[in-house]
Structure 1
């Protein structure tokens, strides 16, 4: 990977941020193959030379944006293995706030990695989650089973109404009571699916 220029001034940092924002919207809407650098630089009010200096080619620009999106979800919605239902609900809310992030992951699955882990560096994003689940399992708060599969099922349930749902994609414009009902259902389903011996759900 070539050495890339980093913004040295506040003006450069502002341009860098505009490129990131414009490219995030472009890739989320059109995918990797369908995204166009011309549209990105026009929206960011810059030029190709500046974009390439900061990010390299289109593939590298997507890498930056996608990995930033994974970092955001990890930081904004950290796992709480003692409250997996609550974690699922917080993920649901994050998809409402930032539907573009889940679309980026879907384009990655469709265009780059149709099987296996979504990213090669999955350990960076998964290890803390898996450790937390393993510890909760040892304490009887989460059911037995492969911690990775437990994590996967909770994330999958949180995405039931996500922007890439094959059934129904929720939006933040829907009535609050609709979201409240979904959150309650999601919380209960995750609780029942993941309860350990020391937290057996009623019913």
Structure 2
């Protein structure tokens, strides 16, 4: 059977994603990744360079999988939040990878940071173009939309970052029961935020009319 380079890369990527999500950058072991991927360590270094570059590649690819998952429809904020919540519930590895990045990667920007920053800028401008933050002066609308976007992301992500705390704080017997409850709460909070934005926009337009 001919050697399939792309299949090898995919197996390495999948094994690395699981290894990094479980152990972080410092705790991950290249030999475990190689064993899980049914590949040799030389292939990992050939395709990805070193462990740090492999971690960055995994995180970058995982983030690229979810452009829709962190988008908020300005006309349906609450519905968007529910969809985002469900996506993170089905893909908890991304939150774990982001937490490991925060703990271990340090403050130095990596090569993927400009692209990630641009993606968030685009989402903030989409919110502004959709009518979000029109009640504030034009020169700060984008900043207001950025704050709203990050606030909503935090409302969602914290539930998956600390599932045990979520379960204990809500006095639920299982993580699933706690997340079911939190989903409804997060959606309601998003709905109220959207309603407040709408009221501000309406009030602003009335004042100028």
Classify the secondary structure of the residue corresponding to 1:162: helix
Are 1:33 and 2:26 counterparts? yes
Structure 2: distance between partners of 1:198 and 1:33: 46
Q: Given the two structures, how large is their TM-score scaled by the length of structure 2?
A: 0.75
Alignment counterpart, residue 95 of structure 1, candidates 63, 69, 88: 88
Q: In structure 2, do the counterparts of structure 1 residues 182 and 168 end up closer, same or farther at CA, with 3 Å as the change threshold?
A: closer
Match of 2:171 in 1: none
- In the TM superposition, residue 58 of structure 1 has moved relative to its aligned partner by 0.6
Structure 2: distance between partners of 1:110 and 1:159: 16
Are 1:147 and 2:145 counterparts? yes
- In the TM superposition, residue 83 of structure 1 has moved relative to its aligned partner by 1.9
Deviation string for 1:127-147 (max 9, x for gaps)?
22101121222666xxx7621
Higher helix share: 2
Match of 2:138 in 1: none
Match of 1:42 in 2: 35
- The 8 Å contact of residues 28 and 100 in structure 1, kept in 2 or not, is answered as yes
5 Å-filtered alignment, 1:2-41, equals 11-41=4-34
Match of 2:117 in 1: 123
Q: In structure 2, do the counterparts of structure 1 residues 197 and 90 end up closer, same or farther at CA, with 3 Å as the change threshold?
A: closer
Q: Between Structure 1 and Structure 2, whose CA radius of gyration is higher?
A: 2
Give the aligned length.
Answer: 185
Structure 2: distance between partners of 1:147 and 1:77: 14
Are 1:185 and 2:179 counterparts? no
- The 8 Å contact of residues 95 and 157 in structure 2, kept in 1 or not, is answered as no
Q: In structure 2, do the counterparts of structure 1 residues 64 and 184 end up closer, same or farther at CA, with 3 Å as the change threshold?
A: same
5 Å-filtered alignment, 1:158-173, equals 158-165=156-163, 167-168=165-166
- The 8 Å contact of residues 103 and 164 in structure 1, kept in 2 or not, is answered as no
Q: In structure 2, do the counterparts of structure 1 residues 15 and 164 end up closer, same or farther at CA, with 3 Å as the change threshold?
A: farther
Structure 2 spans left out of the alignment, 5+ residues = 136-140, 168-173, 201-209
Deviation string for 1:140-176 (max 9, x for gaps)?
6xxx76211111110011124214457226xxx966x
Tell me how large the CA RMSD over aligned residues is. 3.0
Structure 2: distance between partners of 1:107 and 1:197: 34
- The 8 Å contact of residues 130 and 148 in structure 1, kept in 2 or not, is answered as yes
